Chains A and B, each alone.
Chain A
Amino acid sequence: MTRTLLTRVALAALIVAAWELLPRSGVVNPVFLTPASEVARTIWELFTSGELAVHARVSLVRILEGLGLAIVLGVPLGLGMGAFRGFERAVDAPLQAGRQISAIALFPVFILFFGIGELSKVMIIFWASLWPVLLSTVAGVKGVDPVLVRSARSMGARRGTLFRKVILPAAAPSIFTGVRLGAAYAFMVLVAAEMIGANAGLGFLVLNSQEVFAIPRMYAAIVALAAFGLAVNAVLLAAERRATAWREAAGT
C-alpha cells in the first residue's frame, strides 16, 4: 500500500522534474515549453486575479448543461430500450448511425442551426456525452437479475413500481459509470467547441494564449483543464458512492 503510493509519488515527481529541467537546460526550447515552476506561478496569477474562475465557470456551465441534457434524455431512452426489445429494435439503427458521427463533425451543423453562441456549444457537448450515458443505461437495464424482477412481481410490483424500485436501482451503478464516461467525453469536445467562436472558457484560454504567444498561460490553462476534469470526476464519483453505498458494504 505505502509502497505503491511511494512509486506513484516518485513517478509524478520525475515527470515534473523533467518538465522543469528539459526547458531550463536548453534541451527543449523554453519558448515552446514553459518550465513547470513558471506554469505554476502563472496558474497562481490567473487564480488570484480571478481570471481563472471566470473561464472555469463558463466551461462548467456548458458542461453541466450539455451533460445534464444527455442524462435527462439518455437515461429514460436507455431505460426504455433496455426494457422493451421492440422499442430497442426500432430505434437501434438510427442510434447506431448517430453514434458513429463524431460530435466535432457535427459542430458546423450545430452552428448552422443554433448559431455561434452558447446553444451550439451545449449541443455538441450533449451529443458527445449522450452515447456513453445511453449505452450504459441500456446495458444496466439488460443486466438486471431476472430473479429480482420475478421476486418483485411475486409481491405485486407492476410497471411503474418495478421500474422505480427494482430496475432503476439495479441499473444505477452502470448508469453512473456511463455518466462519468460522458463527462470525460464532454471535456474533450468542450475544448474543441471553445476554440471556435468563443470569448471565454478554459478551451478559449488555451487557444487564445497560444495565438497571442502567452505560452506560460497556455500551459497554465491546459493544466487547469486537467485539474478541472479531475475535480468533476471526483464529484461524480462521490455522488456515485453515496447513491450506491450498498456496493461498498460487501467489503466491510
Chain B
Amino acid sequence: MTTPLSTRPAIRVAHVTKSYRGAGAAPGLLALDDVSLDVRRGELLALLGPSGCGKSTLLHVIGGLVQAEGQVVVNGAPVRGPGLDRGIVFQDYALFPWRTVLANVAFGLEMKGLPAPERSRIAREQLRLVGLSAFEDRYPSQLSGGMKQRVALARALAFDPDVLLMDEPFAALDAQTRELLQIELLRVWERTGKTIVFVTHSIDEAVFLAQRVAVITARPGRVKEVLDVELPSPRHARDVRSTPEFTACRHALWELLSEEVTRASGEASAAPAVATPPRRGLLGAFARAFSRRAA
C-alpha cells in the first residue's frame, strides 16, 4: 500500500482460485488453484499452458468477466467486474455482425459516453493504424479472419485501456497471417507502451512476443514458473526465430510444458466427463451482468 506508483505492478493476481460446480452428482472442477502473479507495468506477459489448463479462465478473471476467490488488482484498484481500464481481445473476434467495421471499433467509445464525432474520429484513427481505413463501411462477414482480428484489436485500443488482455487471439488464423499479426502486435506494444497479457498454447508465439512467459500447469491451473525471454531487439526487424537465444528459450519452455501436456492428456482420457468446464451461457452472462450493476 505504501509502494510507490512506479514500481507497483500493473496487475496483481493474488491467491486466485476458481472452481466450477459439478452438475448434479458430478464432481466439481478446480480450474485455478491459488494463482499469484504480478504483471509489470508496460510489459508483454504470455500465459502459456496446455489446452484447458485454465489460462483463459485466469484472463477472464482479470477481465472481470469471471468471478473467483482471491484478489485481482489492476493499477491499484481491485477488480469487481469488467471495465474500460481493461480491453479484451477474444480468440473468435467477437465482432458485432450487424455493425460496420467503424461502428464496431466505436463500441467501447459509445460505452465511454463520447460524442459521435469524437467516436468516429478516434475509430478512424485506430483503423488507419491497423491498415483498414478502406474497410470502415464493411461488415465483419465481409472480412478475412486476419482483418477481423485487426478490427478487434483496433476496437480494444480505441477506448485506450491501461491493459490489453488477449485470449489466444491468433489461434484461429493461418500461419502467415498469424506471423504478420504477431509483428503488428509488437509494433502496437512498442508504440503504445501498454501492459499486455497474452494467452497462448504456442511456445513459439510466447517466445516471439513476450518479455516474460508464465507457464501454467495442467488442471488445476497453477503458475509453474515465470521465465524471462531475452532476445535481440527489435524482434520484428529480422529473423529472430533463428537466433540461439530464441532456440534456448523455446527449449526451456518445451521442457517445462511437455510434462504438463502429458499430464493434461492423461487426465482428459481418464476422466472425459470433467474435461470441459460447464459452458457458461447467455443467461449466466446476464445474471452476472445484472448482479454487478452497482459495481
Contact = CB atoms under 8 A, between A and B. Distances in A.
Given A84-B283, A146-B281, A249-B139, A153 B289 contact: yes
Q: Kindly state the interface size class of chain B when it binds its partner.
A: 35 or more
B169 to A, nearest CB: 13
B283 A246 contact: no
B172 interface: no
B86 A154 contact: yes
Given A151-B94, A155-B108, A83 B282 contact: yes
B96 A153 contact: no
A250 B139 contact: yes
B280 A249 contact: no
B88 A154 contact: yes
Q: Which of B87, B108, B289 has the most CB of A within 10 A?
A: B289
Q: Which of B87, B96, B281, B292 has the most CB of A within 10 A?
A: B96
Given A83-B283, A83-B286, A252-B142, A153 B65 contact: yes
Nearest to B94: A151
A55 interface: no
B283 A154 contact: no
A147 B84 contact: no
Nearest to B111: A156
A165 to B, nearest CB: 8
Contacts of B92: 147
Contacts, number: 95
A249 B141 contact: yes
Interface stretch (A42-50, A166-174, A180-188): A166-174
B63 A246 contact: no
A172 B280 CA distance: 23
A246 B96 CA distance: 10
Interface in A148-162: 148-159, 161-162
Contacts of A247: 97, 141
Contact of B84 (A84, A156, A170, A246): A156
B38 to A, nearest CB: 22
B285 interface: yes
Contact of B98 (A146, A170, A252): A170
A150 B93 CA distance: 11
Contacts of B86: 154
Q: Which of A151, A170, A252 has the most CB of B within 10 A?
A: A151
Given A155-B111, A249-B142, A150 B84 contact: no
Interface in A107-163: 141-142, 144, 146-159, 161-162
Given A148-B94, A149-B289, A157-B111, 10 more contacts: A83-B286, A144-B282, A150-B285, A151-B95, A153-B285, A155-B84, A162-B289, A244-B98, A246-B98, A249-B138
Interface of B: 63-65, 82-84, 86-88, 90, 92, 94-99, 107-108, 110-112, 138-139, 141-142, 159, 280-283, 285-286, 288-290, 292-293
29 contacts: A83-B282, A84-B283, A85-B283, A146-B281, A146-B285, A148-B94, A148-B96, A149-B285, A150-B65, A150-B94, A151-B94, A153-B65, A153-B82, A153-B289, A154-B87, A155-B87, A155-B111, A156-B82, A156-B84, A157-B289, A158-B292, A162-B286, A162-B289, A165-B107, A166-B96, A170-B98, A172-B98, A246-B139, A250-B139
Interface of A: 83-85, 141-142, 144, 146-159, 161-162, 165-166, 169-170, 172, 244, 246-247, 249-250, 252
